[in-house]
Every structure is written in C-alpha cells, then in structure tokens.
A and B are shown apart, each in its own frame.
Chain A
C-alpha cells in the first residue's frame, strides 16, 4: 500500500471499528485525494471572513 492508503487504513479502523482491504484503502485514498484537491484548488477565491450562510443570503435576496 502507498503512504496515503496506509493512513486511510489506520484512520478507517479507528473510525469504523472494521478493517479495510488494502485494495479498498487505496481506492479510498485516491477518492479522498481527488475531492480534497478539488476543494483546495477552488478555495483560492475564499476571503478571510466568507461564511457558509452567505450562500442562503445570496439565494434569498436574488431579484424576482
């Protein structure tokens, strides 16, 4: 297993109380990396005080 998969395997055992197969750990590591990288790249636009609730404010105040 690669380094990420080993970490995923350890974390999953702690969080879930059941072991993952090496293949599944590698799949999960790749899946998580893809999502984390996508959010990290997109998050370049975030400002210090951007709050999650700003989304609903934007929608709610959209013009008719």
Chain B
C-alpha cells in the first residue's frame, strides 16, 4: 500500500479502511494536511469541517474495532461536495453572496445516501455563483484554480470538485451538471466526471440551476471509483418525482466486461466545429487505444449541435429567470454582472417558446437516438474544444468579444447532452503542451452508465493519465 494515503484511489482506500490496514482517522488527517498545503493556492474549499470530519472518522474506526462490518461501501472515506447540496442545519452558499449565511432545513437525498454508505464529509467546495458559469471564477469566494497549475481555470461550475479531486485532496465529490458543469472541471483537472441519465440520480436538496436540465453527477479519480459512488447515490426517491424507478445495477460489476466488439461512434469532425489540434490528437490517440482493446470505431452522422445548444439555452435562461427574478429585483447588486446578465435574457423570452423548447426534447432526443446513436453503443467526442485556458484568458467579467466568445464555446459540446438527457462521461486522455489535462467524452444510451464506465475502466487499465498528479509549484 502507498505510504501516502492521499495517493490511493477511493476503492483502494475504502478497502484499506475496511480491512483495518489503516484507519479512517489516519486517512482523514492525511487529507486535511494536504488540504492545508493546497488550499491557499487552489481555493477549492468554501468551508472545511475539520473537527466534525475527524469526529465522524473516529466513530467509523470505533465501529470496526468493535468487530462490526463496515457500514457500507464508503465506510470512513473522506469526500467533499459542491456547496449546492443541502445538509440540515448547515450553511449552503451555492457560491453566492445572497446565500452566504443561508442555513438548510433538509438534507439532500444524495448526501443522505452517502452518509448511509459510511462516507465522511470533510467540507463544502467552491463553485461558480449559482452554478452559472463554466470557468470556476467566483468574485464572492475567490476564484478556484486548476489542480495542475494555479494560473489556469478549474472549469465550472463544479470547480472545487474538479480541482480538489484532481489535487488528491479528497477521494470523490458530488457535482451538478446543467450544461457541462461536471464534465468540464473533470476534463480540466484530469479526473473522471459523470453526468448520469436524466432521472438516474435524485435532485432533491440540490439547489437548481434549471430544473429540466439539472443532473447530479460525480467527479472521481477513476472509473471504478465512479461506479462505486454511482451505485450508492442512484435510484428512486419519494422526494423527487423526476427520479427514475428503474432498478439500479451494481455498476462496479460492469467494469469487468471486455470491450471487444463494443461499437464506438465518432462524429464527423465538421459537425463539432473547430477543435484544437492538441485536443484532436489526444482524442485520436485514445481511440487507437480503444481499438487495440477490441472496440470497433465507426463514423456516425451527427446532429446540429448549435440547434441543440440553443434549445437548451432557452430552457436554462427561462427557468433561471423564473427562479431568480425576485432576488434580481431585491438583491441585484449581490449578483456579479455576468450571472445577472445570464439571467436577464430569460425574462424576455415568450412563454410559448420556452414550452416549445420543452416539447422539442422528445423529438430531438428520439432523432439523436435514431440517427447518431443507432448502431453504436457509445459516442466518443471532445469535452472541451480547446485546451484549458488561464484564469486571465477566461476572465468572466471581461466584456471583450474574444473572452466572451471563448466562454461561449466552452460548453458547446457538453450542453446538448443535458437537453437530450443522455449519460455522458469525461475521461482523462492526455495533456496539452502547457501541461494541462485533456479529456474525451463518452455519450451513451439512456441508463447505460455501466457501458460508459466499463469502457473508461478498460481504457484506464492500459493508460496512466488518471495516475498522473499535479505537483505543487513553489513559486
């Protein structure tokens, strides 16, 4: 076992705690020590619950010392989550000024399920204000920086989740994804990021960005870690009528399947718009690896991504405007200009167009499944069309055209999948010339998260991108 406990994966550390090769207190202390080293330069955390986490870890250890079995598959494992998930009697800021001191009265279903599986929560993580930005900038709590270099953006809106998992501060994290907010920070920080099928994971107790397109997702170091956490959090919920009643498989079991003969669809590059050469090369190399593992790669016709993007954008803006309008009137100055500007347009879109956008989802999804996904098991495409930019290059309050265009392009390949409700997984597959991670995106059929995780796991058995880790800069 690695003597530096923070370098173990979630499944490895869970096994070490369960077999009492180490203790939850030792693991939690190791994480807290590393957080102390990295937090000043990365600003991943909004709140660190040091004493509570150590107390919970000690309780986990006493449970095992008394001869009991582990509480669940995450017994004693330290996690931390985007500060958008409610826990009764605790503050949940959503990265906003308006909710800086707001105390939740109920606990998110996903947090309750992680608790029941024995996980420790070590704190709450930085995020874009009200989950409304793809870069990780936050004027209220400070920008969250990339795990690999403090001058680069972490990606958003689950910025703290991506950076903290990438920097080995925690073993896994919940995020939320309305247009790419799990997959983008996952790709930017070299970790696995899953947006499950719409309805696979309950949304109860997670502050909404746009109800129709919100998905609770996961950021982990490996596909196996992701499978372990998804099995815990997925499933029906009496508090969320949108949560699917379909049974939850053991996603870890899907990891052992061979990917020989799996059909991987690759879109015509022209359909994706301009893709940076370094990103294209990393994706091409990853396809070669998958082919060597026996997968069959075929080119597929691809939907008009800009049309999907705009229909999704209409829904996000209208739902966001409905939700935020009372606060926009009362607390306009407490919103940063970018977030305010993202909400304003939704007030001006006719209600009939918003409803048309919702009615279109069935048609657009059916068309996508009948054409692009027909005959293949998954799609393989970029997460972000260019390498991770610096924090300065993506400064959200810069009103210059170049920056605005760059920010708009960040979500062009992720947001359509929120409209279609399909599962999508970001997997690390290389590094750009500046040393920042690159990821590929797998998109699957509804409720086929196991297929995505199986392919990612097979890829990670023969590559080491997920084992690379950032080095602290001393200057």
Contacts and interface: CB of A to CB of B under 8 A. Distances in A.
Interface stretch (B104-112, B118-126, B153-161, B349-357): B349-357
A32 B349 CA distance: 6
A16 B357 CA distance: 24
Interface string B446-467: 1100000000000000000000
Contacts of B355: 52
A26 B38 CA distance: 44
Interface string B323-360: 00100110010000000010011011110010111111
Nearest to B198: A59
Contacts of A51: 359
A62 B311 CA distance: 22
Contact of A35 (B310, B359, B446): B310
A60 B347 contact: no
B409 interface: no
Contact of B347 (A12, A39, A42): A12
B348 A11 contact: yes
B14 to A, nearest CB: 28
**Max chain A C-beta neighbours (<10 A), residue from B242, B245, B307:** B307
Contacts of A34: 310
A8 B176 CA distance: 32
B323 to A, nearest CB: 14
Name the interface size band of chain B.
Answer: 35 or more
B311 A52 contact: no
A32 B356 CA distance: 15
Interface string A43-55: 1011000111011
Contacts of A35: 310, 313-314, 317, 345, 349, 353
Contacts of B366: 58
Name the interface size band of chain A.
Answer: 35 or more
A18 to B, nearest CB: 6
A3 interface: no
Given A11-B348, A17-B329, A40-B353, A56 B197 contact: no
Interface in B61-114: none
B199 A59 contact: yes
Contacts, number: 110
A15 interface: yes
B242 A36 contact: no
Interface string B237-258: 0000010111000000000000
**Max chain A C-beta neighbours (<10 A), residue from B197, B329, B363:** B363
B311 A38 contact: yes
**Max chain B C-beta neighbours (<10 A), residue from A38, A52, A55, A64:** A55
A15 B362 contact: no
Contacts of B361: 52, 55
Interface string A14-25: 011110100010
A58 B362 contact: yes
B21 to A, nearest CB: 38
B364 interface: yes
A12 B363 contact: no
Interface in B222-278: 242, 244-246
Contacts of A52: 355, 358-359, 361
B199 A46 contact: no
Contact of A59 (B197, B325, B347, B360): B197
A28 to B, nearest CB: 6
B360 A39 contact: yes
B408 to A, nearest CB: 11
Interface of A: 8, 11-12, 15-18, 20, 24, 28, 31-32, 34-36, 38-43, 45-46, 50-52, 54-60, 62-64
23 contacts: A11-B347, A11-B348, A12-B344, A16-B332, A20-B344, A32-B348, A32-B349, A40-B353, A40-B356, A42-B360, A42-B364, A43-B356, A46-B363, A50-B362, A50-B363, A52-B359, A55-B358, A56-B242, A59-B199, A59-B446, A60-B199, A63-B445, A64-B447
4 smallest beta-carbon distances between A and B, as pairs: A38-B310, A62-B446, A55-B361, A52-B358
Interface of B: 197-199, 242, 244-246, 306-307, 310-311, 313-314, 317, 325, 328-329, 332, 341, 344-345, 347-350, 353, 355-366, 369, 421, 445-447
